[in-house]
Amino acid sequence: MILVTGGAGFIGSHTCVELLDAGYEIAIIDNFSNSRPDVLDKIRTITGKDFKFYEADLLDRDKVELIFKENKIDSVIHFAGFKAVGESVSIPLKYYHNNITSTLILCETMAKYGCKKIVFSSSATVYGDPATVPIKEDFPLSTTNPYGATKHMIERILTDLYVSDNEWSIALLRYFNPIGAHESGLIGENPNGIPNNLVPYIARVAVGTLDVLNVFGDDYNTHDGTGVRDYIHVVDLSKGHVKAVEKVSKSTGVEAYNLGTGTGYSVLDVVKAYEKASGKKINYKITDRRPGDIAMCYADPAKSLNELGWKAEFDLERMCKDSWNFTVKNS
Ligand code: UFG
């Protein structure tokens, strides 16, 4: 059985669907801090399969231990964690305490029960402002905010863990920019309040709940001056987790993998693609740069192809189409 922490969240829920479809038994632990209970039934509806669910906080050591007592957990996919960059700057201790301590409790409990296989939800944010693109896994790591620092620190903790005990098998998955939704329109990304990220914001402009997109700067050194990112369909990203679970189950070691498409699109490219997918006009205005943003970030996904046998399949048009379908069904 695979334990999925944060399995009710955006990437977690899509990954649970892929795991169930691939025939795995799963248990989910989630405290709904940034998700909703109805997601669980939607996962059941999509897959026609059931799973164990624990409503609990990973900081609750006794509850975490109970899961390992009650189930034979073979491997863990660890999504749970706070992820808002801006909030992490204003409330750093909340981020360090939650993200780091929960991972320590999880790994200590795993070690106690002899479960030494973990797939960790990391981020391309660990590359900081890369000197060149595309980004390879062996590029130097640096971070510019507490959220990113927790991802970097957890990678380090897991690496040290492997050094101390070579029986561990660890995959550090560095996500680029996950967008889109399941084609059913049942699960997707629906942040509370005003979205921080580009595509959820565009979706609300398209559906009419927000008036205008602020494009954060058009003076970057990119093809149209707006920031370039590697947007990846969340279903492709989720399939990468299934491949990573297969990998950690049959080998030991600690390895980082980029999960991106390898193609960069600008903010205005995404606006155009979303207009086409939705048939709606996206009003936008150019504003100042957002502090901490970089010009370009896109992956070299070759290592994931060579070592995991994974590559992204869906294009930007499909990502926007699925985002729009989810938005229309859930607004
Ligand atoms: N952008 C806008 N207007 C908005 C929101 C975003 O112009 O309202 C621009 C940004 O400046 C950037 C691009 O759209 O050029 C993408 O921004 P996002 O906020 O969607 O994503 P980021 O690349 O900033 O950050 C994402 C995740 C982080 C993660 C990082 C890793 O949100 O958690 O990728 O590279 F750390």
As given in the structure block, the two tokens for residue 24 are 């795995």
Report residue 218's pLDDT band, with 50, 70 and 90 as the boundaries. Answer: very high
Has this prediction a pTM greater than 0.85?
Answer: yes
Confidence of residue 99 (pLDDT cuts 50, 70, 90): very high
- Asked whether 278 lines ligand 1 (CB < 6 A), one says no
Average pLDDT over residues 247-272: 98
Q: Measured from the CB, is residue 159 less than 6 Å from ligand 1?
A: no
What pLDDT shows up at residue 24?
Answer: 98
Place of tokens 């509850």: 63
CA 198 to ligand 1 center in whole angstroms:
6
Range with lowest mean pLDDT among 8-17, 117-126, 187-196, 286-295 = 187-196
Distance, in Å, from the CA atom of 164 to the CA atom of 127, rounded to the nearest integer, reads: 25
The 253-259 sheet, strands edge to edge: 52-55, 26-30, 2-5, 75-78, 117-123, 169-175, 253-259
Q: What pLDDT is attached to residue 190?
A: 86
Is the CB–ligand 1 distance for residue 197 below 6 Å? yes
Q: What is the pLDDT averaged over residues 128-138?
A: 97
What whole-number percentage of the chain has pLDDT above 90?
Answer: 98
**If you write DSSP's letter for every residue of 237-254 in order, what string do you get?**
HHHHHHHHHHHHHT--EE
Q: Examine the pLDDT at 279 and tell me if it is beyond 90.
A: yes
| Atom 6 (ligand 1) nearest CA | 198
Question: Where does the pLDDT of residue 227 fall: very low under 50, low under 70, confident under 90, or very high at 90 and above?
Answer: very high
Q: Which atom from ligand 1 is nearest to the alpha carbon of 215?
A: 7
123 forms beta bridges with 175
* Residue-wise pLDDT tens digits, 312-329: 999 999 999 999 999 999
**In the predicted model, what is the mean pLDDT of residues 266-271?**
98
Which H or E run includes 62? helix 61-70
For the cut 90, the answer to whether the pLDDT of residue 185 exceeds it is yes
**Terminal alpha carbon distance of the chain:** 35
**201 part of the active site:** no
User: How many whole angstroms separate alpha carbon 205 and alpha carbon 58?
Assistant: 35
Q: What is the predicted pLDDT for the residue at 321?
A: 98
- Is 90 exceeded by the pLDDT of residue 13? yes
* pLDDT given for residue 260 in this prediction: 98
